[in-house]
Amino acid sequence: DVKVTQSSRYLVKRTGEKVFLECVQDMDHENMFWYRQDPGLGLRLIYFSYDVKMKEKGDIPEGYSVSREKKERFSLILESASTNQTSMYLCASRKGGRDHEQYFGPGTRLTVT
């Protein structure tokens, strides 16, 4: 079974702090994604990566950056956290090519105070 893990289930940070959210997948997937989930808005794509050191902006990249130094790990970085970044963050991975199934991690609920 594919396993996607995220470093924290719950995180509380202060405004202005730098925040790192880590995601690891164990199935050698090429593609990895970061979404945020807000009530009534569903999932919105922040960034994705289709290979090591490659990244592409999603629909809402402002205020975020990402890092993919190793194939299995995709990090989301909030350079200076703000209260409007309080949300549930979901990481996902997909093999790539014609393999379309996307696997999700359990999510990190981030609260910025």
Partner 1 sequence: GEDVEQSLFLSVREGDSSVINCTYTDSSSTYLYWYKQEPGAGLQLLTYIFSNMDMKQDQRLTVLLNKKDKHLSLRIADTQTGDSAIYFCAEWASNNDMRFGAGTRLTVKP
| Binding residues for partner 1 (CB under 8 A) | 4, 9, 35, 40-43, 45, 90, 92, 100-107
Q: How far is the CB of 103 from partner 1 (least distance, A)?
A: 7
In the complex with partner 1, which residue's Cβ is closer, 67 or 102?
102
Nearer to partner 1, 28 or 38 (CB): 38
Closest approach of partner 1 to the CB of residue 80, in Å? 27
Q: Which amino acid is at 99?
A: D
- Phi, psi (degrees; rounded to nearest 5) at 85: -100, 5
**78 or 107, CB closer to partner 1?**
107
- Please tell me the distance from the alpha carbon of residue 99 to that of residue 81, in angstroms, as a whole number: 35
Give the separation between CA 101 and CA 94, rounded to whole angstroms. 6
Q: Phi and psi dihedrals of 65, rounded to 5?
A: -140, 170
